[in-house]
Amino acid sequence: MKKVYLGLGGNVGDVKAVLKAALDALNAHPQISVKKLSNLYKTPPWGDKNQDWFLNACALIETSIEPLALLKIVKSLEVDFKRKKTRKWGPRTLDIDLLVYEDVALKTKTLTLPHPRISERAFVLVPLNDIAPNLLVNGETVSKHLETVDSDEIKLIGEGGNF
């Protein structure tokens, strides 16, 4: 089984319920086991700032599914939860990103591992730090990357995966 870190978020509809249902769906898959959940955070929009704030969390899963097949599963879940791509970095009911897949370094048209913008995004680093502060990403720990971003506006709204 491989350890995979996921970033989850959304800002349309009942995001808490969608995040919980998406995690339940992942955990129900015979080859996926959700092992750890971060706290839940309210975060300002990134990139396209003209939209509602997001709820964000991270999860550690274990799986035997290869990266590209896992990407298909999570993107299918996004569709199941009515995600509509209206614009780059725009509003969404659910977003699931593969952040780190064990020690895999990969760059394809559809997937780059580790995720190329982890170190720029406080909305990823804050929850990822909850579950993996010592995880190495691009030669630095998550906690070290977190020191380099502005996380002042990020608000804790649910502890210990209690969505």
Catalytic residues: 83, 92, 95, 97
Coil/strand/helix, residue 27 = helix
Beta strands in 11-162 (DSSP E): 32-37, 40-43, 54-63, 95-101, 106-107, 112-113, 136-137, 140-141, 155-158
Look up residue 134 and give its two tokens: 């010592």
What whole-number distance in Å separates Cα of residue 14 and Cα of residue 92?
A: 11
Contact status, residue 27 vs residue 84, Cβ threshold 8 Å: no
**Which residues have C-beta within 8 Å of that of residue 43, sequence separation ≥ 6?**
9, 53, 54, 55, 56, 122, 123, 126, 153, 154, 155
